[in-house]
Each structure stands twice: as C-alpha cells, then as structure tokens.
Amino acid sequence: MRRYFLIDASALVPFFRVSPESASVRSAVLKLLSLRAEERAVLLVPNFCLAECSKAFAANIQAEIKSSEKAATKYHALVEEMLDTVSSSRRGLIQSHELAREHLVGIEDIFKAQWSMKPRGGQGLSGLDGLVLAMGRGLMKAHGAERVRVVTGDRWMAEVCNRNPFLLPRAVDVYKDPIPDG
Amino acid sequence: MTLKKLAIKEFGKRGFEKLDSRVKKVIKNVDALNKGLKPLSRRQIEKALA
C-alpha cells in the first residue's frame, strides 16, 4: 500500500540540522526518502512549512555564526538543499503541498478537538499547526485514513491526531514512533 | 552522528549502496552543510520554530 506522508516543519528541521536528540528523526526521514525513491510512499510538505523551516535555519545560523557574510552563505546553502529535496524540477523527493481554500473550511473542528484533551500552559495547536492538520484531513478524505499519516516532531500535534481518529489521520511522532512500512 | 553513518545503521552497508542516487546526494550534501556547525538541542529547534 502506497501511503501519503504529510511532513511537518518540526520533523524536517532536525533532518537538515544535526541535533544530538534527533537521530530517531533523521532515521525516520531517511526511511521516508527511501520509501519514496522506491515509489512506496508519497511525501508531501505543506508549502508554508518551508517558510517555517527557513525561519528556523535563519534563527540558529545567525546565533551561531558571527560573520554575517559567512552566516548568509551557510543559510542560503541550507535553504537551497531543502529546496533541492522538495522542488519537483530538481530532485523532487518531497512534494510541496499547496494550501487551498477548502483546507480552511471547518478548521474550527480541529481546534475544538483539543478542548476535551485539556491542554496545559504551552500546549495547544498554533494557527499553522491547525493548517497542517487541515491539510492532513483533506488528504484523509481523498485517500482514506489508513493511507495517510502526519509526520511531526510536535508531541501535542501527534496526540491531537491520534486521539481524534474520526476527524484526523493518525500521526507519527518522529521522536518515538517508527515509520510504518506497508 | 552523520547522516551517512545513520543511513548505514538503518539500511546496512549494502542497503546504503543500493539507495537511490537522489537520496545519497541528499545525505552527502546535508552532512557537508552541517560540518562546522554545532549540533542543536531539541529545545533550540522548538524555539526556532515557535
């Protein structure tokens, strides 16, 4: 069965930028890329998540490299590599998934779904998280719940998906869950 | 750990050799880009994304 994996920025950033805690995330994304290369998976990233990744790279490179010229070179190289992986005219391993008007219809249901979960301080979906899940819901409607997974490094986002199976596709928390094979 | 080492751990040496050339290219480039950069903590990544 060919699955659709919708990859959130929180899973993509640790793949491109090494972190001691991100070995599981990097292995998961590697596995996804190999499944995609074998045509066993379709990998999608919401287009606005690319902006989120760019923002994250900019913040940590600026904090780490003092010379603004060197920082700019490194930053552009990282962004280019990400775009090479995503752009269909280049390597195209991951497809950019466009936000459409239909994704916004009924997005309130997603935010309401967390009410019963009683989010504590700091927890809760951001507006962009809600849009990612709305896109996941759209894919679920088009391809069926079993064929769609949201891939995220955000615990809360994963929990909202997994506790609302009639509303949202299941999620893979890349810090702890394995990538399903078939 | 580099992505190449992780990939060998994940797929085995033979599996790594058999990987699609596009995936191998990503591995090579990402490893090169991270050279000289300090690893980030999960907290730093979350903060940068917030």
How confident is the model over A80-103, as a mean pLDDT?
Answer: 86
What's the CATH code of the domain at A109?
Answer: 3.40.50.1010
Residues of A with CB under 8 A from a CB of B: 9-10, 13-23, 26-27, 30-31, 33-34, 37-38, 52, 55-57, 59-61, 64, 74, 77-78, 81, 84-85, 91, 93, 153, 175
Confidence band of B36 (pLDDT split at 50, 70, 90): confident
Nearest CA in chain B to A155: B46
DSSP secondary structure of A84-143: HHH-TTTT-SSEEE---HHHHTTTHHHHHHTGGG---TT-S--HHHHHHHHHHHHHHHHH
Contact check, Cβ <8 Å, A93/B23: yes
Residue A83 lies in a domain: no
How many whole angstroms separate alpha carbon A32 and alpha carbon B19? 12
- Chain A partners of B44 at a C-beta cutoff of 8 Å? 19, 60
Confidence band of A88 (pLDDT split at 50, 70, 90): low
Residue A108 lies in a domain: yes
In sequence order, what are the residues at sequence separation of 6 or more whose Cβ sits closer than 8 angstroms to the Cβ of residue A18? A26, B1, B34, B37, B39, B40
For residue B27, the model assigns a pLDDT of: 93
Q: Which of A30, A54, A65 has the highest number of chain B CBs within 10 A, making it the mutation to test binding with B?
A: A30
How many whole angstroms separate alpha carbon B29 and alpha carbon A92? 15
Residue A22 lies in a domain: yes
- Chain A partners of B38 at a C-beta cutoff of 8 Å? 64
Model confidence pLDDT, tens digit, residues A128-172: 999 999 999 999 999 999 999 999 999 999 999 999 999 999 999
Distances (CA, A) of A136 to A9, A27, A28, A32, A94: 14, 22, 19, 17, 15
Is the Cα torsion angle A108, A111, A112, A113 positive or negative in sign?
Answer: positive
Nearest CA in chain B to A9: B49
Residue A76 lies in a domain: no
For residue A125, the model assigns a pLDDT of: 92
How many whole angstroms separate alpha carbon A52 and alpha carbon A46? 10
User: Amino acid identity of A53?
Assistant: C
Cross-strand bridge partners of residue A46 = A97
Q: Which of B1, B2, B17, B26 has the highest number of chain A CBs within 10 A, making it the mutation to test binding with A?
A: B26
Looking at the complex, report in whole angstroms how far the Cα of residue A22 sits from the nearest Cα belonging to chain B. Answer: 7
**pTM of the predicted model, to two decimals?**
0.93
As for how many domains chain A has, the answer is 1
- As for the ipTM of the complex, it is 0.91
How confident is the model over A46-69, as a mean pLDDT?
Answer: 91
Domain of B29, in residue numbers: 3-49
Looking at the complex, report in whole angstroms how far the Cα of residue A57 sits from the nearest Cα belonging to chain B. Answer: 8
Q: Which of B1, B40, B41, B44 has the highest number of chain A CBs within 10 A, making it the mutation to test binding with A?
A: B40
- Chain B partners of A91 at a C-beta cutoff of 8 Å? 22, 25-26
As for how many domains chain B has, the answer is 1
Domain of A31, in residue numbers: 3-49+95-173
